[in-house]
Structure 1
Amino acid sequence: MRTTAKVTAAALIGGTVLMGGNAAQAGAPPSDEAAAQKAASSAAAQQRLGQFFVHLDQHQRGQLTNQAVTPAAIAAKAPTLEGDVHRVYSLNPEFVKGTPNAPAARFAYMAVGAKSATGQHATVWLTKSGASWTIMNVISGSEEAVYPAKADGGMVFTEPQIHAWYRLKDGRVTALNDTAKTSVAKGVTVGSYQKLVHGRYADKLPGSAYQRSGKLGGFSPTTGVSDRAPDRGPAPVLLALGAGGVVTAAGVALARRRRTPDSH
């Protein structure tokens, strides 16, 4: 399986990655896709993307990424969006807990792919701030833009702790990438999937002894908690499953090894 470095814009330029309750919303009106697309197409967004691609070059050369970026360097990247904005859904902590009638996943953010004139790919994450959509993060690669487009009449969601992507359709959870295949094989019922994630994460949600202990180990799709997997880098903090979780990029390794989208 080919892997690619996924670099958060927050890590590159000192921002903050919001996860969980702060980023999650109960839903978003259909018109919000168009508004988010407009925000991602703005001159300010193109400027930020150009800077991101330049910083990505610097990072890949082993250089510091806090250097000033010239207008000419940004212009040379000539970033363009790829495709439409899609909603990204993420595993719901209430579902993990076993709350009756809780949906398996909840809306987290909008995402749209982007590319540079030099062949780099990135994904723009957008969240709503008041009445407007704003860029929350930019990461290299295209998972968050590609997989949500595979809904096929269902709902695509991610289990971010193991970088798994699933489709929920007709009461079954099926895999969209290799990690998800390891987790649910050829597919499971929603009830079976709930038992699976309850076993993995129910004792590690915000407020748990696990969180208070400061443990941030990685997760295996088959065994639950494990030592940090070397090809995944820093494991997603479990606060990503809870309300108010904030993951700050400071002190976190710049590059995470992440799987590229499979063709399904």
Structure 2
Amino acid sequence: MRFTAKVAAGAAIGGTVLMGGTAAMASGPSSDEAAAAKAAAAPAAQQKLGRFFVHLDQHNRGQLTNQGVSKAAAQAKAPKLQGHVQRVYSLNPAFVKGGQDAPVATFAYMAVGATSASGQRATMWLTGSGASWTVMNIISGTAEAVYPAKAQGGTVFTEPQIHAWYRLKDGRVTALNDTAASSVGKSGVTVAAYRRLVHTRYADKLPGTAYQRSGKLGGYSPATGVSDPAPDRGPAPALLALGAGGAVTAAGVVLVRRRRQGSY
């Protein structure tokens, strides 16, 4: 079961894992990675990481995670960034709608992995442009930093509503984790077939639909496009917030315990 708990003062990031095309920025020059990496390594960002790891300990002990964290406790976690900053692409609402010329996925945010002195793993998400990048979220696990590095000449993207990761290459969408394999099979599908699949899943859940107006925020267990159905892993976010540009503007830090899958 997936759940989110606010661990910092201020508003939590509404629907962070639901982001899609219009919540994402246009892909920028490679200098953006360097600027994002600099922002992630800044003392303020490292302090946020340290506080996150302390809150993660509290959560694992069943304690409340809204209590303050001293500077010394955060520094004791000695957070370190791991690997390079990666671009994260997410399923595009325009593609879901059926647009023939719409890209399958659009750039959503930068991500970089991190570890603590006690071996915890997390991923920092950054948003911005040019020389101005800021930490918008920190989550447990490293999927968002690990999977994008597997592009191998293609584009890696996520279908966050079912926690699936895919590679788009040579006109085919292939799976990078178990959930994606349950979605498109071990050999993958054509772009056209994937468009039909996600249109069936989400077209009635985009902004402006009755689903959105009903206020539903989750409970989606997808029908898959392959013969063996995906196991029911519990409620997952629906496509409700795809296209909701305000989803990435808050500055809170959110702790996310995710269902384990693939090779995090």
Q: CA deviation at 1:158?
A: 0.3
Name 2:6's counterpart in structure 1: 11
Q: CA deviation at 1:83?
A: 0.1
**TM-score under structure 1 length normalisation:** 0.86
Matched, 1:58 2:53: no
Give the conservation status (yes or no) of the 8 Å contact 1:146–1:261.
no
Q: CA deviation at 1:20?
A: 3.4
Give the conservation status (yes or no) of the 8 Å contact 1:6–1:257.
yes
The equivalent position to 1:219 in structure 2, one of 214, 218, 221, is 221
How far, CA to CA, are the matches of 2:232 and 2:72 in structure 1?
Answer: 37
Identity among equivalent pairs (%)? 69
Residue segments in structure 1 that go unaligned for 5+ positions in a row:
224-228
How far, CA to CA, are the matches of 1:136 and 1:111 in structure 2?
Answer: 10
Q: CA deviation at 1:23?
A: 3.9
Matched, 1:89 2:85: no
Matched, 1:170 2:136: no
Letter in 1 for 2:208: G
Q: CA deviation at 1:131?
A: 4.5
Relative distance call for 1:137 and 1:76 in structure 2 (3 A) is: same
Q: Map 1:30-179 to 2 at 5 A.
A: 30-128=30-128, 131-179=131-179
Relative distance call for 1:261 and 1:123 in structure 2 (3 A) is: farther
Name 2:228's counterpart in structure 1: none
Q: CA deviation at 1:260?
A: 4.1
Letter in 1 for 2:241: A
How far, CA to CA, are the matches of 2:154 and 2:43 in structure 1?
Answer: 34
Give the conservation status (yes or no) of the 8 Å contact 1:231–1:257.
no
Relative distance call for 1:221 and 1:254 in structure 2 (3 A) is: farther
Relative distance call for 1:169 and 1:130 in structure 2 (3 A) is: closer
Give the conservation status (yes or no) of the 8 Å contact 1:93–1:242.
yes
Relative distance call for 1:46 and 1:230 in structure 2 (3 A) is: farther
Relative distance call for 1:54 and 1:230 in structure 2 (3 A) is: farther
How far, CA to CA, are the matches of 1:47 and 1:22 in structure 2?
Answer: 30
Letter in 2 for 1:103: P
How far, CA to CA, are the matches of 2:60 and 2:45 in structure 1?
Answer: 22
Per the alignment, in what secondary structure is the counterpart of residue 240 of structure 2? helix
Relative distance call for 1:124 and 1:255 in structure 2 (3 A) is: closer
Name 1:203's counterpart in structure 2: 204
Letter in 2 for 1:28: G
Give the conservation status (yes or no) of the 8 Å contact 2:184–2:224.
no
How far, CA to CA, are the matches of 1:85 and 1:260 in structure 2?
Answer: 22
How far, CA to CA, are the matches of 1:238 and 1:13 in structure 2?
Answer: 26
Alignment: residue pair count: 249
Per the alignment, in what secondary structure is the counterpart of residue 246 of structure 1? helix
Per the alignment, in what secondary structure is the counterpart of residue 39 of structure 1? helix
Comparing 162-171 and 129-138, the one that deviates more: 129-138
More strand, by proportion = 1
Q: CA deviation at 1:25?
A: 1.1
Per the alignment, in what secondary structure is the counterpart of residue 87 of structure 2? strand
Letter in 2 for 1:72: A
Name 1:236's counterpart in structure 2: 237
